[in-house]
Each structure stands twice: as structure tokens, then as C-alpha cells.
């Protein structure tokens, strides 16, 4: 199980990123950003993607990246999950990057790895790994059709669009985008319409899209892990300082038991999330199973941690002036993203040849 442990490089990366996020993305700034028209925090994105070089972590050096792996990328997602950071890392530096790596696309991949362009896979954010039915046609190299609920669709510079015959890259300026109400306010959704937009085919068939969604699902577990850990940490800190009837609230046995159960679940979540990231890094054939296990477990754990965070903070936890609602909304949105836990359990059952009950 040594491959599940964090390396010294990963620990150093976590420290640098957490210091940056604590300075540039405190929850008050994240909440204030939800009231603005900007689809993401551009200054924070440039710091994470450019200054720290996180956008190109899984991309080989000869393709313009940092030459690390999906394991280091998973550490970044853990920290971004802790802060519910409003940056398009999951969509551009994970999902779109995985698609471009599978497609063998070099020029656009280098720009995405450098943080110079934000690429977004144009599928509904709820789409899980598996066959994707295109809603966009590509006659004569032009795209026509609509894709709804695209995560970070308003932030994209380039869309990667599945269509009959392959995967197409199209400049976002050639699409009509409409912002839609998003449960997870720091990660905004958009409906995207293509009306004869000029496009370039970057991959034939469906393998690039399959690889993108599978890698995305595996890596999303790390974001859910970081979010769950933040909820537990904040809740424990609050219960240590909140007094009722002359004693710390955290001294009550009923709350101790709930926190102990949550800690155990998060520890298990760390194991399955790290295993999924390791499988992605090694291009292991067990990745579909690892991703399904990670999502089936981590989705529920993150949501439970966020719910406990709200409830155990008492009245303040239900207010706009406390970050608990940001965590709860991110956890709920993540539990739907890239396939629900139920979807992944069904996929897992098929993968291990488990008959239905």
C-alpha cells in the first residue's frame, strides 16, 4: 500500500498551494466572487496555473508540461476542494487535458498546460464515464447543435466538442453561451450553442472522450476528499471553542461519535481516492474499477461531511455569512458531476460481473 502514501514532492506541493490559497482564496473572497459577473477568479487561476505550474502537471515535458503525474494533480485537487476555489482546474487541467493527451494533440495541449488557454469538454457536467450521445453535428467541419450545463462553459477559451466522427476543437468565440443558475456558485454552468462554428477535428472516434470522463471521475474523488477534510477540520475547531452549559460542545459523547464515524469514512475516502489517482498515473487497467469505487464512496462522504458541518455549527452554519453553505453546495454538485454514486455502483457491478439483486 506504499503507493497510497504522499511523496515528499507531493507534500511540498500541498504546502505551497495551501499557502497560496489561504492568501488569495479565503472563503470570504470566494463568497464575494459569487456576486460578480466574472465566471472564475482570473488572478487566482494565473497564480495556480502559471506561477505554480499546476495546469501542466500531468503533461510530459516534451509536450509542454511539467512532466509529473496524475498523483500530483490529485494533490492540487484536494487543496482546491478544501477552499472550493473558483478556478477551472478540474475542467481544463484534468478533463480537457486528459482528452488532449489521449488525442495526441500537441499545440493546444501545450497552451492548456501553460495556463494560456482554458479548454473545456463540451458535455453536460453530469455525464459519467461511458458512451456519450453527441448533441452536436459536424457536417463539413462546422458544428451545429447545443450542449447544456457545461461546467466552466463561460470561462472557456476553447471547447472540445464530441460529435459524430470524433472530437472537435472550436474557439469559444464561435459559440453562443448562456449562463445558467448553478448550485455550486464558484463553479458555474453554461448552455452552449453552436451555429455553423468552424472547428478542427483533434481525434477520431470516442476514445479521447472516454479517457477524459474516466480520468475526470477518478480525479474528482480527490476534490471531494479535500472538501470533506475541510468540513471535518472546521467542525472540530468550532466544537472545541463553542460552549453550552459551561462546557465545550465537543465534549458531548453523541457529537464525538458522529465525528469519529466521519473521520473513519474520510480515512477510507483517502485510500480509494489515492488508489484512483495512482491507477490514472500508471495507466493501470484497473482504472475503471478504481474510479467507480472512488466515486461511489467519496461522493457520499463529502456530502455527509458538509451536512454535518452545517448542522454542528448550529444557527451560524445556516447563514450566508458562514462558509458551510459553500461546502454543502460544492459537495452536492460534485455528487451529481461525472455520474452519480448510484451510476458508479451500477458500473462497478457490471465491471466485476456482479448480478443485480
pLDDT at 1 over 50: no
Summarised one tens digit per residue, pLDDT across range 144-174 is 999 999 999 999 999 999 999 899 999 999 9
pLDDT over threshold 90, residue 321: no
Query: Could you tell me where in the chain the CATH 2.40.110.10 domains are found?
Result: 121-205
DSSP state of 60: -
Residue ranges, CATH 1.20.140.10, the chain:
208-351
Residues 304-331: what's their mean pLDDT?
Answer: 90
pLDDT score of 312 more than 80 = yes
Average pLDDT over residues 124-138: 93
- 10 Å Cβ neighbour count for 2? 4
Residue 316 has pLDDT above 90, yes or no: no
Query: 319 or 290: which carries more pLDDT confidence?
Result: 290
pLDDT at residue number 334: 97
* Banded pLDDT at 130 (limits 50, 70, 90): confident
Average pLDDT of span 333-340: 96
Cα three-residue angle 132-339-300, rounded to 5 degrees: 175
Over the stretch 34-80, which tens digit does the pLDDT of each residue have? 999 899 999 999 999 989 999 999 999 999 899 999 999 999 999 99
191 DSSP β-pair partners = 178
Least-confidence region, from 102-111, 176-185, 318-327: 318-327
Q: Give the model's pLDDT for residue 245.
A: 60
Q: How far, in Å, CA of 131 to CA of 150, rounded? A: 17
The fold of 121-205 is: Butyryl-CoA Dehydrogenase, subunit A; domain 2 (2.40.110)
Q: Is the pLDDT of residue 246 over 70?
A: no
Taking Cα atoms as reference points, which of 81, 112, 114, 115 lies closest to residue 337? 81
Q: Is domain 208-351 given the CATH code 1.20.1300.10 in the classification? A: no
Residue 152 near residue 40, CB atoms below 8 Å: yes
pLDDT at site 322: 87
Q: Quick check: 15 pLDDT over 70? A: yes
User: Does 127 score more than 50 pLDDT?
Assistant: yes
Would the pTM count as exceeding 0.85? yes
Strands annotated E in the chain: 119-121, 136-137, 142-151, 158-163, 166-171, 175-180, 189-198, 200-204, 243-244, 247-248
Q: Identify the CATH assignment for 2-117 out of 3.20.20.370, 1.20.1260.10, 3.40.50.300, 1.10.540.10.
A: 1.10.540.10
Backbone conformation region of residue 163, classed left if phi is above 0, alpha if psi is from -120 to 50, else beta: beta
Instruction: Reply yes or no on whether the pLDDT at 243 is more than 50.
Output: yes
The pLDDT value given to residue 165:
87
For the chain, what is the mean pLDDT? 93
Amino acid at each position: 500500500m506504499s503507493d497510497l502514501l504522499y511523496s515528499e514532492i507531493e507534500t511540498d506541493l500541498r504546502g505551497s498551494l495551501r499557502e497560496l490559497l489561504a492568501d488569495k482564496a479565503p472563503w470570504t473572497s470566494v463568497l464575494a466572487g459569487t456576486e460578480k459577473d466574472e465566471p472564475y477568479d482570473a488572478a487566482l487561476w494565473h497564480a495556480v496555473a502559471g506561477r505554480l505550474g499546476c495546469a501542466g502537471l500531468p503533461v510530459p515535458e516534451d509536450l509542454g508540461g511539467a512532466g509529473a503525474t496524475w498523483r500530483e494533480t490529485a494533490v492540487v485537487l484536494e487543496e482546491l476542494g478544501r477552499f472550493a476555489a473558483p478556478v477551472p482546474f478540474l475542467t481544463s487541467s484534468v478533463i480537457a487535458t486528459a482528452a488532449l493527451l489521449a488525442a495526441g494533440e500537441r499545440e493546444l495541449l501545450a497552451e492548456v498546460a501553460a495556463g494560456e488557454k482554458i479548454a473545456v469538454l463540451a458535455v453536460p457536467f453530469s455525464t459519467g464515464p461511458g458512451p456519450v450521445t453527441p448533441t452536436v453535428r459536424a457536417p463539413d467541419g462546422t458544428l451545429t447543435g447545443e450542449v447544456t450545463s457545461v461546467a466552466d462553459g463561460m470561462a472557456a477559451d476553447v471547447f472540445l466538442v464530441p460529435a459524430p466522427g470524433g472530437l472537435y476543437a472550436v474557439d469559444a468565440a464561435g459559440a453562443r453561451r448562456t449562463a445558467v443558475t448553478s448550485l455550486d456558485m464558484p463553479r458555474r454552468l453554461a448552455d452552449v450553442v453552436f451555429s455553423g462554428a468552424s472547428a478542427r477535428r483533434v481525434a477520431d472516434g470516442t476514445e479521447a472522450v472516454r479517457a477524459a470522463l474516466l480520468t475526470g471521475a477518478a480525479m474528482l474523488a480527490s476534490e471531494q476528499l479535500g472538501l470533506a477534510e475541510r468540513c471535518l477540520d472546521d467542525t472540530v475547531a468550532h466544537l472545541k471553542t463553542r460552549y453550552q452549559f459551561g462546557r465545550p460542545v465537543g465534549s458531548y459523547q453523541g457529537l464525538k461519535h458522529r465525528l469519529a464515524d466521519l473521520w473513519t469514512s474520510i480515512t477510507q475516502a483517502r485510500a480509494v481516492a489515492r488508489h484512483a489517482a495512482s491507477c490514472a498515473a500508471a495507466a493501470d487497467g484497473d482504472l475503471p474499477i478504481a474510479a467507480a469505487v472512488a466515486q461511489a464512496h467519496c461522493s457520499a462522504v463529502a456530502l455527509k461531511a458538509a451536512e454535518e458541518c452545517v448542522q454542528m455549527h448550529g444557527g451560524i452554519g445556516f447563514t450566508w455569512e458562514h462558509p458551510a453553505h459553500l461546502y454543502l453546495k460544492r459537495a452536492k454538485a460534485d455528487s451529481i458531476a461525472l455520474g452519480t454514486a448510484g451510476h458508479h455502483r451500477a458500473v462497478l457491478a457490471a465491471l466485476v460481473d456482479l448480478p443485480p439483486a
